[in-house]
Amino acid sequence: MPDISRDDVAHLATLARIDLSDAELDHLAPQLAVILDSIASISEVAAEDVPPTSHALPLTNVFREDVATPGLTAEQALSGAPEVEEQRFSVPRILGEEQ
C-alpha cells in the first residue's frame, strides 16, 4: 500500500513551486494518501498477464516528415506574454542558481 507522508507532500509542493502553508499541508497530506489508496486498488484487479502500460494507444513509430512548416508570428507568440522586451519574453530574474 502506498504511503505518502506530510514531508513527501511538502517536498513535492516545493518541486512544483506551489507554496503551501502548514495548515494546507495538514489538510492535503491525508487527502493525497486516500487518493493514492484508491488508485492502488487497480493493482488488485490487474492480472499477471497484463503488463504495465504508459500509453492507451497500441501504436509505435508515429513520425512526422522533417519539413519546416510556418508556426506563429512573433506578435502572436508574444501576445500572451505579461511583459515583452526586444521581441523576447521578459521574465523575473532567476534566483538561486547561475546558468
Q: Which positions touch another protein (CB under 8 A)?
A: 11, 14-15, 17, 54-55, 57, 59-69, 71-74, 77-78, 85-94, 96-99
- Cα separation, 3 vs 46, in Å, equals 20
Give the shortest CB-13-to-another protein separation in angstroms. Answer: 11
Give 49's Cβ-side CA count (13 Å radius). Answer: 0
Which residue matches cell numbers 493493482?
43
Between 38 and 70, whose beta carbon lies closer to another protein? 70
Give the shortest CB-70-to-another protein separation in angstroms. Answer: 8
Give the shortest CB-9-to-another protein separation in angstroms. Answer: 14
Contact between 37 and 8 under an 8 Å Cβ cutoff? The reply is no
Contact between 3 and 38 under an 8 Å Cβ cutoff? The reply is no
- Cα separation, 55 vs 52, in Å, equals 9
Between 34 and 74, whose beta carbon lies closer to another protein? 74
Between 22 and 58, whose beta carbon lies closer to another protein? 58
Between 38 and 54, whose beta carbon lies closer to another protein? 54
